[in-house]
Structure 1
Amino acid sequence: MSSGHNSDPADKPTRRKFLGGAAAVGAGAAVAGALGGEASAQAGRRPGLAGTRRRAAGRRVAVFGGGIAGLSAALELAERGFAVTVYERRQLGGKARVFGVPGSARGGRDELPAEHGFRFFPGFYQNLPDSMRRIPFPGNEKGTWDNLTRASTYLGARKDRPDLTIPFPFPWPIPEGTPPFLTPESLIATVISGLQSLGMIPLPEILHFARKGVMYVTSCDERRIGQWDHVSWADYLGTATRSAEYNTLLADGLVRNLAAMKSADASTHAIGLVGEATLWSVLGEGNEAGGSVDRVLAGATDEMLIDPWVAHLRTLGVQFQVGWAAESFQLSGGRIASAVAVDPAGARQTVDADWFVSAVPVERADRLVDRRMRAADPMLNNISKLRSDWMNGLMFFLKQEVPITPGHVNYWDSTWAITSISQAQFWKRDFTAYGDGTVTDNLSAIISDWNTPGMFNGKTAKECTREEIAEEAWKQIKAHLNEPGKPPVLTDDMLHTWYLDPGILNPGTPQVANEDPLFIQTLGAYETRPTAGTGIENFFLAGDWVKTGLYVSTMETANEGGRLAANALLDAAGYTGGKATLGELWVAPAFNDAKKLDRDRYRNGEPHILDDGT
């Protein structure tokens, strides 16, 4: 194996559905301003903000954390005239950042682009796309939103069996240039694979799963939160007494790749909510204007989103302190008087502001919020009850383009719950502009299960060195894609190099750790999660782990968390203008009567009408 590198604010301040999309900022002058050129004084403003942008005393905001949540809060507050400074300990973008592969650049080219995990933007996202439309990008009418491109399939790859391709034909018509959903070969394989699975899952189990799916979709919100959020996905589906194929396709295989969890740990409400949203999206319902079920960026995340976002925030007066890590908050008289941060030189610095937003990941927030803060607001104790797990990226840079499918791949039989996407087919920039000029594609993979032994080496990913992780993951992928008697899809000589997420520290040792774990939705976590506003009048929380509407860890929930923190701050500051809009998941009206019936039953202490106890 080749060696790898590693060492519209005027809207009411309530939730609303985005039916027509948010207004886009003007591209011409706004784009010029974002890139340092001459810009209109109105560049980047949203409708309804006239008279609200004047700087005023008591409007200094310190945002700790420059990821999606922090940048989202900064955007909403800066547009409303607040003086925002963002403090980020590593690199702007947070878990959405792109880190170059050290030492990979040659001949004036950029370093090979690697990432914590590939990005994708489901059509049911509402909040993040609204922000993207307001971030100018050269040549784009709708800002960075126009950098999204459609992925048209989902491939379920199987080991020693034909693969199953799921096409995404909605919305219709299909844009010109979109790769075909199915080829004759993939259609044949899909039919065979589907029939095999049907043959391996007994009919009673199929009926059981269908009934369980309908039961969740027709459950009232009260039952979803009060009952299903306290039941594991495994118990809900009854996996203990079902077939292996049932578990592979409908329980563990689905959950591990979706949320880095096992079905025994995952909340049914978390999985059911995002599963329902995905189903409607596939059927062309509930998508934001112009959205489709699966979209990716047409290039590296920093080039397509993060860098333009930061440039736009600078035009709004936002300042950035990169390399500054929050260490503590100083509480006095029920307010945060100041914060202490460590600067790039390692010196402790006092950060003065009127308002403080913590937009750091949950595990870091748990360390930042001290005993006095928790005493001032006991809700902050809930942060310690939330859990994280591992879900990290592994890049395989290839010497030839390998478009496995025009979308994501789920290696269903992979013990490490691997997923991937071939990026070159979606990117506007040629991969030869990176590295030494010989890399033409990136098979961007994610390992979601770090605790189950590998298919070949029998070791968990946590037990492996970097080299062993790369070798085992490569073998698992090849075992799914290369079929006996057919030309191989992947061969060792295609591999140029690999790069493991540097957030994995000390791999292969007892001290192995993860700097970038993922917040997971365990039982009861919906009610446990803290709100963005706290009992400390000038302190707010932002992130995918605060109490948001969408209940999984995504850039969408991080963006929503940033908006919620901004709105809580605006309320506390007595701001009288419009607040940040908050999108909602689409609700199928056909099930309103069924949900009303279930609400009555739930309030009377009765089970769902479809609940037979199995």
Structure 2
Amino acid sequence: MSVSEQVSVTGSTRRGFLRSAAIVGGAVATIAAIGGGPLATVAHAAPGPGPADARSDGAGRSVAIFGAGVAGLTAAHELIERGFEVAVYERKELGGKARTIFSDKGLPGEHGFRFWPGFYRNLTDNMRRTPFPGNPNGCWDNLTRATTYLHSGAGRHDLTIPFPFPVPAIPSPITPQNFIDSVASVFETVFRLPPWEAVFAAQKLGVFVTSCDERKLGQWDNVAWNDYMRADWSSPEYGRFMADGIIRNLAAIKSANASTLSIGIVGEATVWSVLTFGNDEGGSVDRVLNGPTSTRWLDPWVAHLKGLGVQFHVGWELEGFDISGQRVASAQVSTPGGRQSLDADWFISAIPVDKFQPMIDEKMLAADGTLADILQLETDWMNGLQFFLRERAPVTTGHVNYVDSPWALTSISQGQFWKGGLAAYGDGSVQDCLSVIISDWNTPGMFNGKKARDCTPEEISAEAWAQIKAHLNDTDDVLRDGMLHSWMLDPAIEGSGTPAVSNDEPLFIQSPGSWALRPTSATGVENMFLAGDWVKTDVNVTTMEGANEGGRQAVNALLKAAGSAERPCKIEVLAKAPWWEPFKAVDRERYRAGQSNVFDIFDARTP
């Protein structure tokens, strides 16, 4: 069964991809050899339940969208341009997790710093269509390139990768053998891995790129990356580069519970981006905004949608759907004025997976029993900690991965990218913002020995600052305590330092086996559609691009259900390498026969 057939039957800030360039940055020596993900056939028109009445006089064209994050704003943008009546309901703040968060001192920070790799092509389309004063290409012109990536160790070798990466001559023709040889050479020389480990790692990447879609979905999605790469059998240095040292920063995930399918897709897409193949026009492997996310993108987007007629209601939280038979009759919401019932012709849920799970009740399951799988999807914590500095601390002209930090810290120095810096905010004395992400909240710290989730906000700040200094100050005093003006922990972390600590905004993670559990945007509830980075999307991982793609899929499913003559949303899919297709064809037959990939010396199905 093909991927597209499976989808029919079953129905991204840096946020997601943080710095996979280090794991594949070396592999760029030959990974023109790596193509797009196995999900490339999921997309252009999500399956719909059948035509309904959508008359040209406006009847049957009202849409209620719940959630004003990237997925909800995308759906609103596409629908309002197609003549629908759109109302968006948001429980918290417009922009969702992508929004800028201001400290009590008026300083701008982020839930997580933003990252627009070159293979983002759907999200950037909406940015081009969002006007911004003085920009011919709208908000898209506010993107600027980050030119380096720093892989920083504590008291040992650091690795700086420049963008664009100096790519050696690519072998022609590309074969699995010269692919493995070339990648192994880079892993040995750049990452300083022992020769046998370099060859083994390259061989495992060769297995993935020559695996057919059926194996990627049926086998590799069920195998953790840590097991696939045999990280527990290898040296600490191997683990730092090929397992948790990199993978735990791709999303709120660790190599022990990261699907090999998802990590493989990230690697393939990132390498293509490095090689400028399949990129957004003018795109590079690492792009960021030239100012706070809300002011440079989200606020103009909301203003544009309001101008087109979209209605926004903030402080309105979805509590459930009233389902009659196969349709939503109304939605129940809590509002600043009390509980209320909402009527609409069509309903799109663009809320995060952890917020949608409580919506699933017996009536919803009676209409579509497969939605029960959503209850098994998992989330994890990945939240921002902002250090506001009195001096510039660029560190590197891009993102930094603190590879030995037990809290899986990563950062970017915002001041060097923001027009006018930060002097216009707060009391005017702040010159930089070291925007940090904590991806591991469950491992004891280097200095206080406590898990981040067990610490008070003050302890979190002090320990993260100490971990970063241990990485950056081993050769020079990059950061000094006197530089620190103030700090801000993401307010989504509630009850820090108490047993009741919680995270109001966790992220969906792609744990092994999660692909089969994820829904499509169309459901068995005829007028209810799902949008977000947790539905089945081609990009697969938790990103703004995935959220945008999910929003577009929900619109396409709605258009089909409405029998609308409006054009469907175009959905760009990840690039694929044609030269691997003969090897994938052979692997398809081997997979159907129950055999391992021909290049898989150690079949990951066995210990």
TM-score (norm 2): 0.86
Look up the equivalent residue of 1:554 and give its one-letter code. T
1:432 match: secondary structure: coil
* CA distance in 2: counterparts of 1:298 and 1:126, whole angstroms: 19
Counterpart contact for 1:53–1:80, Cα < 8 Å: no
Moved more, 90-99 or 276-285: 276-285
- Rate the CA distance shift 1:482–1:252 in 2: closer, same or farther, 3 A: same
Contact kept? 1:144, 1:305, Cα under 8 Å:
yes
Identify the residue that residue 215 of structure 1 maps to in structure 2.
207
Q: Would the alpha carbon gap of residues 194 and 112 (structure 1) be closer, same or farther in structure 2, given more than 3 Å must change?
A: farther
Aligned residues of 2:388 and 2:487 also touching (Cα < 8 A):
yes
Please name the residue that 2:132 is paired with. Answer: 137
Q: How does 1:278-317 map to 2 (within 5 A)?
A: 278-317=270-309
Answer whether contact 1:14 1:582 (CA < 8 A) is retained: no
Aligned partner letter, 2:596: P
Q: Is the alpha carbon distance of 1:534 and 1:69 closer, same or farther for their aligned partners in structure 2, counting shifts above 3 Å?
A: same
Counterpart contact for 2:493–2:503, Cα < 8 Å: yes
Q: Is the contact between residue 54 and residue 81 of structure 1 (CA under 8 Å) also seen in structure 2?
A: no
The one-letter amino acid paired with 2:272 is W
Equivalent in 69, 72, 81 of residue 70 of structure 1: 72
Give the equivalent residue in structure 2 for 1:100. 102
* 2:406 aligned with 1:415: yes
8 Å CA contact retained: 1:171, 1:292: no
Closer/same/farther in 2, CA of residues 150 and 123 from structure 1, 3 Å limit? same
Is the 1:170–1:284 contact (alpha carbons within 8 Å) kept by the matching residues of 2? no
Report if the CA contact (8 A) 1:55-1:81 is conserved.
no
Distance 1:223 1:589 in 2: 18
Q: Distance in 2 between matches of 1:114 and 1:153?
A: 22
Residue 314 of structure 2 is matched in structure 1 by 322
Q: CA deviation at 1:603?
A: 2.3
Secondary structure of 1:431 counterpart: coil
- Counterpart of 1:537 in 2: which secondary structure? coil
CA deviation string 1:337-360 (max 9, x = no partner)? 111111124x00111111011110
Higher mean C-alpha displacement, 488-497 vs 324-333: 324-333
Alignment of 1:162-173 (within 5 A): 162-169=157-164
- Cα pair 2:231 2:242 within 8 Å, conserved: no
Q: Counterpart of 2:429? A: 438
Helix, strand or coil: the match of 1:433? coil
- The Cα RMSD (Å) is 1.9
Displacement, 1:334? 1.9
Is the contact made by 1:170 and 1:292 (CA closer than 8 Å) also made in structure 2? no
Q: Which residue of 2 aligns with 1:593?
A: 582
Q: CA–CA distance in 1 between the matches of 2:191 and 2:560?
A: 54
Question: Percent of counterpart pairs with the same letter?
Answer: 58
Q: Indicate whether 1:267 and 2:259 are aligned.
A: yes
Q: 150, 162, 173: which one pairs with 1:155?
A: 150
Give me the whole-angstrom Cα distance separating, in 2, the residues matched to 1:294 and 1:305: 17
Q: Structure 2: how far apart are the matches of 1:55 and 1:122? A: 42
Find the residue that maps to 1:394 and give its secondary structure: strand
Please report how far the alpha carbon of residue 170 of structure 1 lies from its aligned counterpart in structure 2 after TM superposition: 6.2
Is 1:479 the equivalent of 2:474? no
Deviations 1:471-511 (A, max 9, x none): 00000001100024x3x000000000000000001011111
CA drift of 1:202 comes to 2.4
Gaps of 5+ in 1: 1-12, 17-51, 105-110, 173-192
Structure 1 residues 196 and 286, CA, compared in 2 at 3 Å: closer, same or farther?
closer
Structure 2 gap segments, 5+ residues each: 1-40, 45-53, 168-186
For these two proteins, the number of residue pairs brought into alignment is 536
One-letter code aligned to 1:595: K
Residue 425 of structure 1 deviates from its aligned partner by: 0.6
CA distance in structure 1 between the partners assigned to 2:399 and 2:241 by the alignment: 16
The match for 1:385 is: 376
State the match for 2:457 in structure 1. 466
Q: Deviation of residue 141 (structure 1)?
A: 1.2
Displacement after TM superposition at 1:195 (Å) = 6.1
CA 1:328–1:195 in structure 2 vs 1: closer, same or farther (change >3 Å)? same
Q: C-alpha separation between the residues in 1 aligned to 2:126 and 2:328?
A: 29
Instruction: Compute the displacement of 1:613 (Å).
Output: 2.0
- Give the deviation of 1:429 after TM superposition: 3.1
Aligned-partner SS, 1:445:
strand
Q: Deviations over 1:110-136 (max 9, x none)?
A: x21122100110101121011111111
Report how far residue 519 of structure 1 moved. 0.3
* One-letter amino acid of the structure 1 residue matched with residue 63 of structure 2: V
* Local SS of the residue matching 2:155: coil
> How far is 1:316 from its partner?
1.6
In the TM superposition, what is the alpha-carbon distance from 1:55 to its structure 2 partner?
Answer: 5.9
Q: Check if 1:349 corresponds to 2:340.
A: yes
Letter in 1 for 2:382: M
> How far apart in 1 are the matches of 2:421 and 2:273?
31
Q: Distance in 1 between matches of 2:263 and 2:66?
A: 30
Letter in 1 for 2:92: R
* Alpha-carbon distance in structure 2 between the residues aligned to 1:429 and 1:127: 29
Aligned letter for 2:303? A
**Structure of greater relative contact order (alpha carbons < 8 Å, 6+ residues apart):** 2
1:314 aligned counterpart, secondary structure: helix
Counterpart-to-counterpart distance in 2, 1:385 and 1:171: 43
Helix, strand or coil at the partner of 2:118: coil
Q: How does 1:562-577 map to 2 (within 5 A)?
A: 562-577=551-566
CA distance in 1, matches of 2:244, 2:55: 50
The answer on whether the counterparts of 1:420 and 1:443 sit within 8 Å (CA) in structure 2 is yes
Q: Is the 8 A contact 1:127 1:559 kept in 2?
A: yes
Q: 2:121 aligned with 1:126, yes or no?
A: yes
Which residue of structure 2 aligns with residue 181 of structure 1? none
Correspondence 1:48-59 to 2 at 5 A: 56-59=58-61
Q: CA deviation at 1:600?
A: 2.3
Aligned to 2:386, the other structure's residue is in SS state strand
Equivalent position of 2:592 in the other structure: 603
CA distance in 2, matches of 1:510, 1:554: 30
Please give the alpha-carbon distance, in whole angstroms, between the structure 2 residues aligned to 1:67 and 1:194: 42
Contact 1:171/1:284 (<8 A) preserved: no
For each residue in 1:144-192, what CA deviation from the matched residue of structure 2 results, as whole angstroms up to 9, or x when unmatched? 11111001111001100132100111699xxxxxxxxxxxxxxxxxxxx
* Aligned counterparts of 2:570 and 2:165: Cα–Cα separation in 1: 27
Asked if 1 retains the 8 angstrom alpha-carbon contact of 2:223 and 2:260, the reply is: yes
Instruction: Please say if residues 43 and 553 of structure 2, whose CA atoms lie closer than 8 Å, have aligned partners that are also in contact.
Output: no
Helix, strand or coil at the partner of 1:329: strand
Residues 506-545 of structure 1, C-alpha deviation per residue, up to 9 Å, x if partnerless? Answer: 0111111000101000111111101101101100111100
C-alpha distance in 2, partners of 1:545/1:218?
26
Letter in 2 for 1:437: G
Q: Secondary structure of the equivalent of 1:416? A: coil
For residues 19-62 of structure 1, what are the alpha-carbon distances to aligned partners after superposition, in whole Å with 9 as ceiling and x for unaligned? Answer: xxxxxxxxxxxxxxxxxxxxxxxxxxxxxxxxx99661111100
- Which amino acid is the alignment partner of residue 344 of structure 2? A
Shift of 1:291: 0.7
Q: Does 1:235 align with 2:237?
A: no
Pick one of 544, 548, 564 that aligns with 1:559. Answer: 548
CA distance 1:435–1:233, change in 2 (3 Å): same
By how many angstroms is 1:333 displaced? 3.2
SS in 2 for 1:443: strand
Secondary structure in 2 matching 1:234? helix
Alignment partner for residue 535 of structure 2, among 546, 552, 555? 546
Deviation at 1:590, TM superposition (A): 2.2
Following the alignment from structure 1 to structure 2, what is the Cα–Cα distance between the partners of residues 604 and 144? 51
Residues 185-207 of structure 1, C-alpha deviation per residue, up to 9 Å, x if partnerless?
xxxxxxxx986952xx3211111
CA distance in 1, matches of 2:306, 2:228: 48
1-side partners of 2:469 and 2:55: how far apart?
A: 56
Q: For residue 95 of structure 1, what is the amino acid of its counterpart?
A: K
